[in-house]
Amino acid sequence: MQRTIDGEKNPKKPVPATYSRTNPFPAKVLKNINLNGEGSSKETRHIELSLEGSGFSYIPGDTLGIAPSNDPELVAAILEEMKWDAEEVVTVGRKGESMPLKEALETYLDITLLSRKMIQSAAAFTDNEEIQKIVEDAAAVKEYIDGRDLLDMLRDFGPWKVPAQEIVALLRNMIPRLYSIASSLAAHPDEVHLTIGAVRYTMHGRERKGVCSVQCAERVQEGDTLPVFVQINKHFHLPETLDKDVIMVGPGTGVAPFRSFIEELAINKATGRSWLFFGDQHEATDFLYRGELEKYQQDGILTKIDAAFSRDTEQKVYVQHKMLEHSKELFEWIDNGAYFYVCGDKDHMAKDVNEALLTIIEQEGNMDREAAEAYLKEMKTQGRYLRDVY
């Protein structure tokens, strides 16, 4: 509704709110489905959000930030452990914003990660001897905080005779979670799609859940809203002209930006060739977006798909093995100017893919390792070797 002045409609149009990281847009959830088949050990959510009215735009390669909320069960356990009043007003942040304790713990504060500073400061609030010993030893602090959260600390070192505000003051603000956008805005006007793997594991005798990923998997229904913002990624985008060949390596949820790339190539009738390397555990249950990708291949938009499923064979096969299998053709593409993209796990996959790429350049280009490394460095300089790893 427009505002009225003296009972008459204000002729001026309302100024649209500007949404950003600090003022996220409440995006309506249009679709939230599990991409994995029955029997899979994984849960990967495909989420479609409406950006209508947000003023946001994005290009393939950009990321979407979500301002998450903590698990209400974890918050309830903390309140119960400390016998705190959920409605007690506490002050949070540099600006000193006041809100009920429960709201602060659910939406504002990080309660799932401990820091060295936090445990050292907390030691002053209890007579527990064990925590006093731990804080005297930097290695012991590091070992303790690994994989533990606020509830662990409160349970392990109680009793705590301390007001809620004192503990709240130790906690860091919740940070947004960033996800590669899995859609092309040209293909889906006013929408953005995400591919989010639910993180669940057991550590220190308790089940742990990824703050945002499990919120999306368990507590976000179609029709709900999620607070979001777009973050530009200048270093991961399609070539300026779509007549270039592109090679995309994205196992698991690393396929997300390449879905956006392929949609963009399709809608712009790109003349360059495209080759996707995808990997996951089992072909029957974990081939994300299989139907879509195979249709793109049939339509000639996606030139090649090579998929590796590590748990379907006795010898584990990963994306880098598929690259090595096709080393001659892969090098021909690269040597003729193809752009090479990698998205996904930084610690293992991206390193293995980089090593496989060097081996391919070395063998197929008849170079020594030093020359292969120089060749790869030149690809980076030319903006033809791009990585979005985390």
pLDDT score for 95: 86
pLDDT score for 16: 55
Which residue range forms the structural domain that includes residue 143? Answer: 72-168
pLDDT score for 17: 59
Q: Are residues 96 and 136 in the same domain?
A: yes
Q: Are residues 214 and 251 in the same domain?
A: no
Give the pLDDT of the chain (390 residues) as one tens digit per residue: 233 333 334 444 444 558 999 999 999 999 999 999 999 999 999 999 999 999 999 999 999 999 999 999 999 999 999 999 999 999 998 889 999 999 999 999 999 999 999 999 999 999 999 999 999 999 999 999 999 999 999 999 988 989 999 999 999 999 999 999 999 999 999 999 999 999 999 999 999 999 999 999 999 999 999 999 999 999 999 999 999 999 999 999 999 999 999 999 999 999 999 999 999 999 999 999 999 999 999 999 999 999 999 999 999 999 999 999 999 999 999 999 999 999 999 999 999 999 999 999 999 999 999 999 999 999 999 999 999 999
Q: Are residues 273 and 309 in the same domain?
A: yes
Q: Are residues 125 and 224 in the same domain?
A: no
Q: Is residue 236 part of a domain?
A: no
Q: Are residues 191 and 142 in the same domain?
A: no
Q: Are residues 221 and 361 in the same domain?
A: no
The count of domains in the chain is 3
Q: Are residues 197 and 57 in the same domain?
A: yes
Model confidence, pTM: 0.93
Q: Are residues 194 and 336 in the same domain?
A: no
Q: Are residues 360 and 283 in the same domain?
A: yes
Furthest-apart CA atoms within the chain: distance in Å: 82
Q: Are residues 302 and 321 in the same domain?
A: yes
Cα gap 271→237, rounded to integer Å: 17
Q: Is residue 11 part of a domain?
A: no
Strand order from edge to edge, sheet including 274-280: 304-309, 274-280, 246-249, 339-344, 385-389
Q: Is residue 263 part of a domain?
A: yes
pLDDT score for 374: 98
CATH of the domain at 28: 2.40.30.10
**Orientation of helix 256-267 relative to helix 290-298, angle to 10°:** 30
pLDDT score for 119: 96
CATH of the domain at 105: 1.20.990.10
Query: Which of 130, 265, 259 is closest to 195 using CA atoms?
Result: 259
Instruction: Name the helix (H) or strand (E) containing 329.
Output: helix 327-335
Kindly state the tokens that stand for 327.
């080393």
pLDDT score for 256: 98
Q: What totals of helices (H) and strands (E) does the chain contain, helices first? A: 15, 17
pLDDT score for 160: 93
CATH of the domain at 290: 3.40.50.80
